[in-house]
Amino acid sequence: MPDLSRSEIEQKVKRGEDFERMDLSGIDLSGAELSNARFSRVLLDGAILEGADLSGADLTGASLREAFLESAKLDRAKLCKADMDGAKLAHATLRETDLSRANLEGADFDSADLTDARLKYAQLDSANLNGARLQNAVLANADLVEADLSNANAQKANFSRALMRAANLSRANCTEADFDSSILQKTRLSNANFTRAVLSEADLTEAQLDGTDFSSADLTRVVIDNARFEATKLNGARLFGVKLEPIALDGLEFEWVDLSPSADREQRVAKNELKRAKTPLAEAQPSRDRYFGPGDVLRNAELEVNNGARVQIDSRFEGCTIRLGPEATLVVGEQGVLDSCTINGGKLIIKGRFLEQQSPGLIGPEELFISSKGAVVATVTQSPQSTRFGFERGCRLRVQITQPKSDNL
Amino acid sequence: MTHHNIDSGKQTFVEEGTEFKGTMTSSCPVAVRGTLNGDIKAPMLTITETGTVIGNVEAASIRSEGVLAGKVDAEDIFLSGKVRDNTVIRAKSLEVKISQEKSKLEVTFGECMLEVGEDPAKDAKGGDQRNAGVKTDSSSSADEDEDDDEMAA
């Protein structure tokens, strides 16, 4: 730590001097006036900044591991790519603060104000956001695994594509929030308010949904396998493409739901009509989804999937050829094995195994996402527009990536 | 890499506008904002959006948002930016975030090989070791052609 007194630091801040890369670890600057400080890449590990005014400060890439920032003012501060592992930020104000790609694992934001904050791609796993204010905050692609968001106010917040497995959102206010394509497996959403929220293509497998209010929410193509329903409010919700067993209807409270593909409320269906149908909800409507369950074995088959359709495979496919139309999605579930198969085009989500025999096994996918449990041995010939790749930590790969060849497409 | 200085706060920088050619071995984390052309061995390597590393890379942890090419060995890799042709990446763990915007690529891959985690073919039916069309040729070298530096929008 440099030999600088608290007042010297405050004076340097006032003069607009740059502290870049300075080591201030462990320093006590509680209550200090540090607004607009130039602390880019500064080491502040374990620093005591309780009640300090850091509004507008540039802390880009700074290290604030285990720093004590309770009740600090960080409004409009730049904290992108900062390392704040285990930082204490209870009751801090972070309005319009940029925390994109910051490491906030295990950080404590209890009752903090993160209104309009940017947290894209932030690591927030196991973070405490109990009672935090997150209105209009952007948490797209953030990692919120096992995070505590209970009692949080996340109205109009953006959680699209966020990873929220086993997070706690009990009693959270998520009115009009965006959870499009987010992973909400095993989450606790008890008594949470998702009125008019967007959850299209979200994965709510094994979620606890007792008392959850999804009134007028967009739940198109949401996955709710083994979710627990009890007094779950669904009135006016959009449910096109949802696989909901009739037995689950007993745990739902609604007068009508919307089953129209365009989610324009043109196809209203009352609860008693659904009960009479005695079929899974997804079968009571025109659906382009296909599912191959565990235990099935398909050999040397050819499968064509229409544009925009979705196929999930939890079976074993051997020597099969699968052609996917534009925007069509193929999900290889955790139990799915594709052995010696070829897949052409489409969006691929691999949670199980794909084992190539003949190269290339994956031809021109628009998107290839391999989850933490996915395993792939394949040559991937990219699409002419270049394939969008996503790999989760834990995936196993023996993958050769090649550029597109016209004769493969 | 017997003596790591990760916790000391010290870091070696190759600044923007600097081109380093040769072999670099460091016990400190290394951040590359310029160009490093050669072999590098460090406990931690960060390549920023303006950075380029071409050569044999050995690090416990790599975070690349710039251009990476060559033979890369690491325990843990986070990738965005660009991976050039003839790159071989070997790691215990790899993370690539998929872009939220459909038209945007978070990472652009040239012709390259990824060997991540345990061999998936090990637990295949019958225990057959399968690498079909995937050649695990470790002798590939970095493509030093500068022509493909353009990032896809």
Rounded CA separation A104/A326 (Å): 37
Which residues in chain A touch residue B110, judged by CB atoms under 8 angstroms apart? 401, 403
Residue A334 belongs to a domain: yes
Burial of B2: CB neighbours in 10 Å, binned 0-12, 13-18, 19+? exposed
Interface-testing mutation among A160, A317, A389, with chain B (most B C-beta atoms within 10 A): A389
Within-domain flag for A156: no
Of A204, A249, A248, A214, residue with least CA distance to A234:
A214
Domain-located, residue A92: no
- For the segment A382-402, the average pLDDT, to the nearest whole number, is 91
The reply to whether B149 falls in a domain is: no
Specify the long-range contacts of residues A141-146, CB closer than 8 Å, at least 24 apart: A141/B97, A141/B98, A141/B100
Q: What span, in angstroms and rounded, lies between the C-alpha atoms of A391 and A209? A: 29
Q: Mind listing the pLDDT tens digit for each residue in A5-20?
A: 889 999 999 999 999 8
Asked if pLDDT for residue A280 goes beyond 60, the answer is no
Query: Could you tell me if residue A117 is inside a domain?
Result: no
Question: In this predicted structure, which of A83-92, A138-147, A304-313 has the lowest mean pLDDT?
Answer: A304-313
Among chain A residues, the shortest Cα distance to B8 is held by A23
φ and ψ at A294, to 5 degrees? -65, 150
Across the interface, which of B100, B107, B135 has its CB nearest the CB of A160?
B100
- B85 to chain A, closest Cα gap in Å: 9
Split at pLDDT 50, 70, 90, the class of A365 is very high
Mean pLDDT of the residues in chain A? 89
Does residue B6 fall inside a structural domain?
no
CA A337 → CA A19, A174, A225, A329, B120, distances in Å?
54, 37, 20, 16, 11
CB-nearest to A399 from B76, B95, B114 is B114
- Number of C-alpha atoms within 13 angstroms, CB side, residue A326? 2
CA dist., res. A257 & res. A234, Å (int): 7
- Provide the domain count of chain B: 1
Question: Residues of B numbered 133-152 whose beta carbons fall under 8 angstroms of chain A's beta carbons: which are they?
Answer: 133-136, 152
User: Of A210, A197, A209, A217, whose CA–CA distance to A257 is shortest?
Assistant: A217
Q: Which A residues 125-164 touch B at CB under 8 Å? A: 140-141, 160-161
Instruction: For residues A359 and A319, give the distance between their C-alpha atoms in angstroms, rounded to a whole number.
Output: 12
Token code pair at residue A226? 């083994």
Contacts with A47 (C-beta within 8 Å, 6 or more apart), sequence order? A24, A25, A26, A27, A28, A29, A64, A67, A68
DSSP labels for A1-53? --S--HHHHHHHHHTT-B-TT-B-TT-B-TT-B-TT-B-TT-B-TT-B-TT-B
**What is the Cα–Cα distance from A391 to B79, expressed in whole angstroms?**
9
pLDDT recorded at residue A2:
56
Locus of tokens 């989760």: A392
Q: How many domains does chain A have?
A: 1
**What's the CA gap between A180 and A202, in Å, rounded?**
6
Backbone region of residue A221 per phi and psi (left: phi > 0; alpha: psi in -120 to 50; beta: other values): left
- The answer to whether A158 touches A142, Cβ cutoff 8 Å, is no
Cα A30 to Cα A33: distance, rounded to the nearest angstrom: 9
A100 found inside a domain? no
DSSP notation for A88-150: B-TT-B-TT-B-TT-B-TT-B-TT-B-TT-B-TT-B-TT-B-TT-B-TT-B-TT-B-TT-B-T
- Please report where in the chains the tokens 């409004």 appear, as a residue: A75
In a domain, A26, yes or no: no
For residue B137, which of A400, A312, A279 has the smallest C-alpha distance?
Answer: A400
Report the pLDDT value the prediction gives residue A326, as an integer from 0 to 100: 82
Asked if A357 and B130 come within 8 Å (Cβ–Cβ), the reply is yes
Quote the Cα angle for B83-A160-A271, to 5°. 140
Indicate whether B66 belongs to any domain: yes
pLDDT at B127: 40
Q: Supply the pLDDT for residue A266.
A: 53
Residue B20 structural domain: 12-129
State the burial class of residue B27 (Cβ atoms within 10 Å of its Cβ: 0-12, 13-18, 19+): middle
pLDDT tens sequence across A98-135: 999 999 999 999 999 999 999 999 999 999 999 999 99
Instruction: Please compute the mean of the pLDDT values over residues A366-395 and round it to a whole number.
Output: 91
Strands A252-253 and A342-344: unpaired
Closest chain B C-alpha to A281 CA, distance in angstroms: 30
Residues found in chain A: 409
Tell me the chain A residues in contact with residue B96 when contact means C-beta distances shorter than 8 Å: 389-391
Looking at this predicted complex, what is its ipTM? 0.81
C-alpha distance across the termini of chain B, in Å: 37
Which residues of chain A does B108 touch, with a Cβ-Cβ cutoff of 8 Å?
386
Domain-located, residue A347 = yes
- Residue type, position A203, single letter: D
CA atoms within 13 A on the CB side of A404: 14
Residues of chain A in contact with residue B102, where contact means CB-CB under 8 angstroms, are 388
Looking up tokens 């290839």, which residue turns up? A368
Nearest to A369 among B98, B116, B120 (CB): B98
Q: CB of A361 within 8 Å of any CB in chain B?
A: yes
Task: Tell which A residues from 17 to 46 touch B, by Cβ distance under 8 Å.
Answer: 21, 23, 25, 43, 45
Whole-angstrom distance, CA of residue A204 vs CA of residue A227: 7
DSSP B151: P
Report yes or no on B118 lying in a domain.
yes
Q: Which two tokens stand for residue A275?
A: 């009960």
DSSP state of A334: T
Is B137 inside a domain boundary?
Answer: no
Indicate the pLDDT class of residue A87, thresholds 50, 70 and 90: very high
- Chain A: give the shortest CA distance to residue B135, in Å: 8
CA of A191 to nearest chain B CA: how many angstroms apart?
Answer: 29
Asked if residue A176 belongs to a domain, the reply is no
Across A305-319, A379-393, B94-108, which has the greatest mean pLDDT?
Answer: A379-393
Buried b / exposed e over A248-262, threshold 16 CB at 10 Å, is bbeebebebbbbbbe
Q: Which of A179, A201, A393 to mutate to test the interface with B (most CBs of B within 10 A)?
A: A393
- Chain A residues in contact with B29 by the CB 8 A cut-off are none
Tens digits of residue pLDDT in A39-80: 999 999 999 999 999 999 999 999 999 999 999 999 999 999
What is the extent of the structural domain holding A388?
290-408
Which pLDDT band holds residue A277 (cuts at 50, 70, 90)?
low
In a domain, B86, yes or no: yes
Residue found under tokens 């139990």: A335
A181: Cβ contacts below 8 Å, ≥ 6 apart: A160, A161, A200, A201, A202
pLDDT confidence tier of residue B151, bands split at 50, 70 and 90: very low
| Measured distance CA(A305)–CA(A371) in Å, rounded | 22
